[in-house]
Amino acid sequence: MSREGDGGRSRAPDGGVLGRAPSGGLVLGAIASVQLGAALATKLFAQIGPSGAVLLRLLSASILLFVVWRPRLHGRARHELAMAAVFGVVLAAMNLSFYAAIDRIPLGIAVTIEFVGPLAVAVAGSRRPIDLLWVVLAAAGIVALTQGGAHGLNALGVAFALFAGGCWAAYILLNARVGRAFERGTGLTVAMCIATLVALPFGVVDGGAHLLEPRSLAIGAAVGVLSSAIPYSFEQEALRRIPPHVFGVLMSLEPAVAALAGLIILGQGLGGRAVTGIALVVVASIGASRRVREAPVAV
């Protein structure tokens, strides 16, 4: 992990607007965009189901990225293409499982549970005793969320959120590698196309002919831009410059932003127990972030 971090920071960013933007601003912009898109996507669930919404999200993002980056695969090493393909499978699994989760449990709670993935990346490999405290706080937050029962949580929704968290951890690590192996958004575009193909059968079964209705296509395109094209591009550019574990801890505001989006857009109010659980996870992430910044990067 430390060698990946050094490689990400030593390469000068490519030109363009994203190349000149600060890494922290890119990550925060990605957080706001993806949570707005997730809240908007729930408007499609009654019509085309969670998997149908994922398909339209990935398809629209793939088209947009392909037009922007026009990837050329000729001459690419086989291992680079394989890495992009694996990244695409992870993207599909992460999106399918997360949307299945927010179809069953509130957005803020789902994102908080899913956040175990980035938090695990943040503390992975640490031997500092203080980092155990952040793990315990995060675990206490998850328990507070899942044991309250006031929001109709079900085991399957929690399981989907936890699985999405594991995929999110893999996404962070793979995104960093793909971003360094391919120029600009080429690798991301290839991965997004693969993810669309993986999600295709699930989306068709869930959405059927409703996928082609104008309302579905319009909202799906907006979700694709907000939840995939913008945040993934922002995050990949940020991961070119910062180590994956630092990226993971910069995401500490994600659960709070998700809860705010759920409240404002979906009317999903949270009780005191849920707010406490989210706060514990955020504090754990901030604590882990401080330890990472204090610790020297091994080489």
Is pLDDT above 60 for 178? yes
Instruction: For residue 287, count other CB atoms closer than 10 A to its CB.
Output: 21
Mean residue pLDDT across the chain: 82
In angstroms, what CA-CA distances link 16 with 185, 197, 212, 222, 270? 12, 30, 35, 23, 41
Extract the tokens encoding 108: 């803020």
Per-residue confidence (pLDDT) for residue 84, from 0 to 100: 93
Distance in angstroms (rounded) separating the CA atoms of residues 32 and 171: 18
In a domain, 59, yes or no: yes
Give me the number of domains the chain comprises.
1
Residue-wise pLDDT for 6-26, tens only, equals 333 334 444 467 777 788 788
CA-nearest of 232, 269, 228 to 53 is 228
Residue-wise pLDDT for 220-241, tens only, equals 999 988 988 788 788 878 877 7
In a domain, 244, yes or no: yes
Average pLDDT over residues 71-82: 83
Q: Which residue has the higher pLDDT, 52 or 118?
A: 52
Q: Which residue has the higher pLDDT, 35 or 2?
A: 35
Extract the tokens encoding 289: 């972030």
Q: 26 is in which domain, residue-wise?
A: 2-8+21-294
Q: Which residue has the higher pLDDT, 3 or 167?
A: 167
Residue 255 pLDDT class (50, 70, 90 cuts):
confident
Cα radius of gyration rounded to whole Å, the chain: 18
Distance in angstroms (rounded) separating the CA atoms of residues 108 and 262: 6
Q: Which residue has the higher pLDDT, 100 or 241?
A: 100
Per-residue confidence (pLDDT) for residue 249, from 0 to 100: 64
In a domain, 60, yes or no: yes
Crossing angle between the packed helical segments 155-181 and 78-102, to the nearest 10 degrees: 150
CA-nearest of 199, 206, 38 to 106 is 38
In a domain, 95, yes or no: yes
In a domain, 64, yes or no: yes
259 exposed, middle or buried (CB, 10 Å; 0-12, 13-18, 19+)? Answer: buried
Is pLDDT above 70 for 274? yes
Residue-wise pLDDT for 212-221, tens only, equals 999 999 999 9
In a domain, 15, yes or no: no
Average pLDDT over residues 170-186: 84
Extract the tokens encoding 204: 């068709």
In a domain, 299, yes or no: no
Distance of CA 138 to the CA centre of its chain: 18
Is pLDDT above 90 for 41? yes
Crossing angle between the packed helical segments 78-102 and 186-207, to the nearest 10 degrees: 40
Average pLDDT over residues 34-50: 93
Compute the half-sphere exposure of residue 17: CA atoms within 13 Å on the CB side of its CA. 5
Distance in angstroms (rounded) separating the CA atoms of residues 66 and 194: 12
SS3 12: coil
CA-nearest of 11, 6, 14 to 183 is 14
> Is the pTM value of this prediction over 0.85?
no
Amino acid at 208: G
Which DSSP helix (H) or strand (E) runs through 1? none
Q: Which residue has the higher pLDDT, 185 or 46?
A: 46
CA-nearest of 48, 26, 44, 42 to 110 is 42
Is pLDDT above 80 for 195? yes
Crossing angle between the packed helical segments 155-181 and 116-123, to the nearest 10 degrees: 50
Residue 5 pLDDT class (50, 70, 90 cuts):
very low
In a domain, 16, yes or no: no
Per-residue confidence (pLDDT) for residue 290, from 0 to 100: 60
